[in-house]
Amino acid sequence: MKGAEAILSKCDVLGLPSVEKFRVEKEYRVKELDGKIRGERTKREARLLARAKEAGVLCPVVYEVKEFIIRMKFLEGDMLHWELQKRSPAAREISDAAGILVKLHSVDVIHGDYTPANLMLTPEGMAVIDFGLGSISNDSEDKATDVVTMKRALGKFGDEFVSAYEKKGGKASVLAMAAEIESRGRYKERN
């Protein structure tokens, strides 16, 4: 599977079903700069996955990290995004998604693309994947951007997500900043 930043392929690590994420070269960047960016993003994503796992979030276990490659546990399940093309989100799914984000934010992990496209429904529960745009930050605006991204992705169910985030222990400062972000011109609905 090829994405904008990486190629994903199934592999095997010590007999375990795994996924290899190879961060692809960007032809438009100077070669040395491209290598540096890809290497840093690969290492950062592996650190974010480890930090998320330590916070109790269901996500892929990292088995191996090389220069531009992460090999991690293959998660069996269905992507929430595709499920929501067929039906509305269940209250439990909204609550679980909010709980995951609260746990990530409690250890200052910013996902960077927190949407149903990066959540999986697995036999073990809801899991989060793809920390490729993530970072570590305790800034309320960074955390609020994750909240706003999911709220917008959920459309008419977005307010339920924000409410669930608050109930799960999301900070008031993050929610206040989310409201401020939405009040900015580019987030307002245009007539």
Q: Annotated catalytic sites, by residue?
A: 113
Per DSSP, the three-state class of 12 is strand
Measured between alpha carbons, how far is 130 from 157 in angstroms, rounded to an integer? Answer: 23
Measured between alpha carbons, how far is 184 from 189 in angstroms, rounded to an integer? Answer: 10
Measured between alpha carbons, how far is 95 from 100 in angstroms, rounded to an integer? Answer: 9
Within 8 A by CB and 6+ apart from 38, the residues are 23, 24, 25, 26, 67, 68
Question: Largest alpha-carbon pair distance within the chain?
Answer: 56
Measured between alpha carbons, how far is 51 from 140 in angstroms, rounded to an integer? Answer: 19
Measured between alpha carbons, how far is 15 from 184 in angstroms, rounded to an integer? Answer: 50
Which two structure tokens, joined as six digits, stand for 167? 């109930």
